Amino acid sequence: MSGNEPASSKVGVFLCECGGEIAGPIDVEKLSRDLSSGRDEVSIHVTPYWCSLPGRRRLREAIEQEGLNAVVVAGCSERTHGAIIAEAAREAGVNRNRVAIVNLLEHCARVHPGRRPAATSKAARMIRMGVAKAGGARPLETITEDVHRSAVVVGGGVAGLSAARALAAREIPVVLVEQEQELGGMLRGVYLLFPSYGDSARFVSEMSDRTVTHPGIDVRTGTTVTAVSGHAGAYTVTVEAAGASEDLSGGCIILAAGADVLVPEGLFGYGVNPRVVTQYEFEDMLREGLSDVRRIVMIQCVGSRNAERPYCSRVCCTATVKNTITVLEAVAGAEITVLTRGFAEYVGDLDRARESGVKFLRYDPERPPEVADETVKVFDVMSSADVAIPYDLVVLATPLVPRAGTAELARTLGLPVDDHGFVAEPHTKLRPSAYAPHGVFVAGSAHWPATVTECQSQAFSAASRAAELLDRGTIEREPMIAVVDELTCRGCGECVEACAHDAPCLVEGEDGIKISKIDALRCVGCGVCIRVCPPSAIALQHFTEQQLLSMIGAAAGT
Ligand SMILES: Cc1cc2nc3c(=O)[nH]c(=O)nc-3n(C[C@H](O)[C@H](O)[C@H](O)COP(=O)(O)OP(=O)(O)OC[C@H]3O[C@@H](n4cnc5c(N)ncnc54)[C@H](O)[C@@H]3O)c2cc1C
């Protein structure tokens, strides 16, 4: 049999109970019986979790013992579990293209609660489609290319600086791109650093100096990323500085573009009342030294944990508590009241603040505090009493919000963003720090509001994953790509126009005729080029029309 022919099929179906999440809404025993009976020539295996280590071991054993050459795992999504299942199957000798993942959990069990017989029947049809897909697939060879052993780090805050230095420590050449003229990011506006209460300016300047003077790190400040192209192992990052454009090469990219601090225009008198500032602005005032300020009211969750921004920004409570202690140590007789909706358990030094005399009142978001001219009026939930607190200064704790432009940059890099605009992770439990395109990693607050320690550990994790990829020397990727039938292609260039990944280009043959060629390492197998190709000269080699027709037949029971 040639490598282009579908192998004669010996398909194993691996049914996952997902610890009851699937086995509850779907009758897995009946499903197993139905699929084993008569017309489906497949072997059926059931286990609570195929993604677990014992599950994957059983999967490999079954493949080897039964000589299976195609595998259907009916459980979770391809996005979260495809890679580890395919790896287990590959270790036992099954080609990646002959592994199909059927998403029973999200496409059946969860959407049909309380309709067990119907869900079970639908699950059987979904699995038969998977069998048709995997069984009709050709084994394909992986694509291999050399890796450019260097990295581009976008962002010169604590996350970017940490990642750059961690890579350079492994002798990987790094270009660090920072759009501002100075390094340090958000930390440049922070006074003392929790938990050490050390000077943030000193921390930033030491870290920046060590980065700038490192011979393996090329620091470019005042430089903005304008475009990214390429693929894992060979990216081109186009940057602009002082009106001039330049292409940087890197085998990996670490995105450490950080976040912004929300400016609470119109909330609690901010922008109108000069005695209302944000916690971030208050950091500056603390550095300068407070004068004429003794009575301070701090309000938590300003512009967060609401309909527009339902998330907890994590760093603001700690910043507030840290600043209460800083004030009490600097200003004799200071009176501080913090109006909170309740603190998260990860907030540090809360007891120390309480013991030092800071008052904490709990407010109801339905009855938010009101900042009047002389007092802050609030209904204290704990004592069920209306309170009026005189103030010299009101300090608002506002959340970190996604930085304008980061979502756009993430999309250019092929990274998903979450509902709020932060750069998302495919699966925190199964693939921490792994992002969709294999050569791009994210660290710090671009991903989610993070403390300095968290930014650093994410940066080290990203750097070590990047180094692991760069040190391989070559990169392999699955051949899930589009291919051009040269005899049918008429070189119109529609595919070149349509592709967001610059994968196709027109090349002139010896006979002078132009045809489209697809760069296998750039192609992501999305199929957009197929849709726009007038003579239908392009096909996905891992998902043919014949497979599709067989799947439709399987779904229809023909
Ligand atoms: C009031 C306040 C107090 C805080 N106090 C503490 C504390 O005491 N302890 C603690 O642990 N944490 C504290 N934090 C949190 C901490 O400051 C942040 O978590 C941390 O600084 C985030 O670092 P980062 O590198 O992820 O992002 P940033 O510091 O935002 O850095 C990102 C950098 O990327 C650059 N950039 C963005 N886009 C591009 C682009 N396209 N091209 C080039 N460059 C780009 C930006 O200019 C920026 O310099 C506090 C935060 C606030 C708001």
Question: Tens digits of per-residue pLDDT, 414-472?
Answer: 788 898 999 986 555 555 444 445 789 999 999 999 999 999 999 999 999 999 999 99
| Ligand 1 atom 3, closest CA | 319
What is the full per-residue pLDDT of the chain (558 aa) written as tens digits? 344 445 578 999 999 999 899 999 999 999 999 998 766 578 999 999 999 999 999 999 999 999 999 999 999 999 889 989 999 999 999 999 999 999 999 999 999 999 999 999 999 999 999 999 999 999 998 888 899 999 999 999 999 999 999 999 999 999 999 999 999 999 999 999 999 999 999 999 999 999 999 999 999 999 999 988 888 899 999 999 999 999 999 999 999 999 999 999 999 999 999 999 999 999 999 999 998 899 999 999 999 999 999 999 989 999 999 999 999 999 999 999 999 998 776 777 889 999 999 999 999 999 999 999 999 999 999 999 999 999 999 999 999 999 988 888 888 787 888 989 999 865 555 554 444 457 899 999 999 999 999 999 999 999 999 999 999 999 887 788 999 999 999 999 999 999 987 889 999 988 889 999 998 878 888 899 999 999 999 999 999 989 999 999 999 986
- With a 6 A CB cut-off, is 22 part of the ligand 1 pocket? no
Could you say which DSSP state residue 445 is in? G
* Ligand 1 pocket check for 409: Cβ under 6 Å: yes
Q: How far is the CA of 256 from the centre of ligand 1 (A)?
A: 9
Q: How far apart are CA 229 and CA 236, in angstroms?
A: 5
276-399: CATH topology is FAD/NAD(P)-binding domain (3.50.50)
Q: Is 83 in the pocket of ligand 1 (CB under 6 A)?
A: no
Q: Determine the Cα–Cα distance for residues 330 and 352; give it in Å rounded to an integer.
A: 16
Give the closest residue (by CA) to ligand 1 atom 48: 185
Alpha-carbon distance 328 to 526, whole Å?
58
Tokens 């697939």 belong to which residue? 137
Whether ligand 1 lies within 6 angstroms of the CB of 259 is answered as yes
Radius of gyration for the chain, computed over Cα atoms and rounded to the nearest angstrom:
29
Point out which residues pair with 229 in neighbouring strands: 236
Location of structure tokens 């922008």 = 271
The pLDDT tens digits for 510-521 are: 888 999 999 887
| Maximum C-alpha span of the chain | 89
Residue 509: left if φ>0, alpha if ψ -120 to 50, beta else—which one?
beta
Question: What pLDDT score does 511 carry?
Answer: 83
3-class DSSP assignment, residue 528:
helix
Read off the amino acid at residue 118: A
Which of the following CATH numbers is that of domain 11-142: 3.30.70, 2.40.50, 3.30.450, 3.40.50? 3.40.50
Chain Cα centroid distance, residue 90: 26
Spacing, Cα 416 to ligand 1 middle (Å): 21
Q: Which atom of ligand 1 is nearest to the CA of 322?
A: 8
Whether 151-258+403-474 and 276-399 share one fold: the answer is yes
| Whether residue 195 has a cis bond before it, omega within 30° of 0 | yes
State the pTM of this model: 0.77
Residue with tokens 């027709």: 549
180 in contact with ligand 1, CB cutoff 6 A: yes
224 lines ligand 1 (CB under 6 A): yes
DSSP summary character for residue 486:
T
Task: Determine the atom of ligand 1 nearest the C-alpha atom of 445.
Answer: 26
Q: Is the CB of 327 under 6 A from ligand 1?
A: no
Do residues 398 and 304 touch, judged by C-beta distance below 8 A?
A: yes
Q: What is the three-class DSSP state of 417? A: strand
240 Cα to the center of ligand 1, angstroms: 22
- State which amino acid sits at residue 60: R
303 CA from centroid of ligand 1 (Å): 19
* DSSP assignment letter at 367: B
The closest residue, in CA terms, to atom 45 on ligand 1 is: 155
**Could you tell me if the CB of 423 is within 6 A of ligand 1?**
no
CATH architecture of 482-541: 2-Layer Sandwich (3.30)
Choice from 186, 253, 313, 403 to test ligand 1 binding pocket (greatest atom count within 8 A of CB): 186
Distances, alpha carbon 356 to alpha carbons 290, 291, 348, 353, in Å: 19, 21, 14, 5
Q: Is the CB of 405 under 6 A from ligand 1?
A: yes
Measured by CA distance, the residue closest to atom 13 of ligand 1 is 451
Q: How far is the CA of 206 from the centre of ligand 1 (A)?
A: 16
Mutate to test the pocket of ligand 1, among 413, 440, 452, 454 (most ligand atoms within 8 A of CB): 452
Q: For residue 295, what are the contacts with CB-CB under 8 A and spacing of at least 6?
A: 334, 335, 389, 390, 391, 392, 393
**pLDDT score at 229:** 83
- 402 within ligand 1 shell (Cβ under 6 A): no
Of ligand 1's atoms, which has the minimum distance to the CA of residue 224? 42
Measure 494 CA to ligand 1 centroid, in angstroms. Answer: 42
Give the start-to-end residue ranges of the domains of the chain.
11-142, 151-258+403-474, 276-399, 482-541
Which protein residue's CA is at the shortest distance from atom 17 of ligand 1? 187
Q: Which fold has domain 151-258+403-474?
A: FAD/NAD(P)-binding domain (3.50.50)
227 forms bridges with which residues in the sheet?
Answer: 238
DSSP state of 449: -
Contacts of 401 (CB under 8 A, 6+ apart): 259, 260, 261, 262, 309, 420, 421
Q: From the CA of 213, how far away is ligand 1's center (Å)?
A: 22
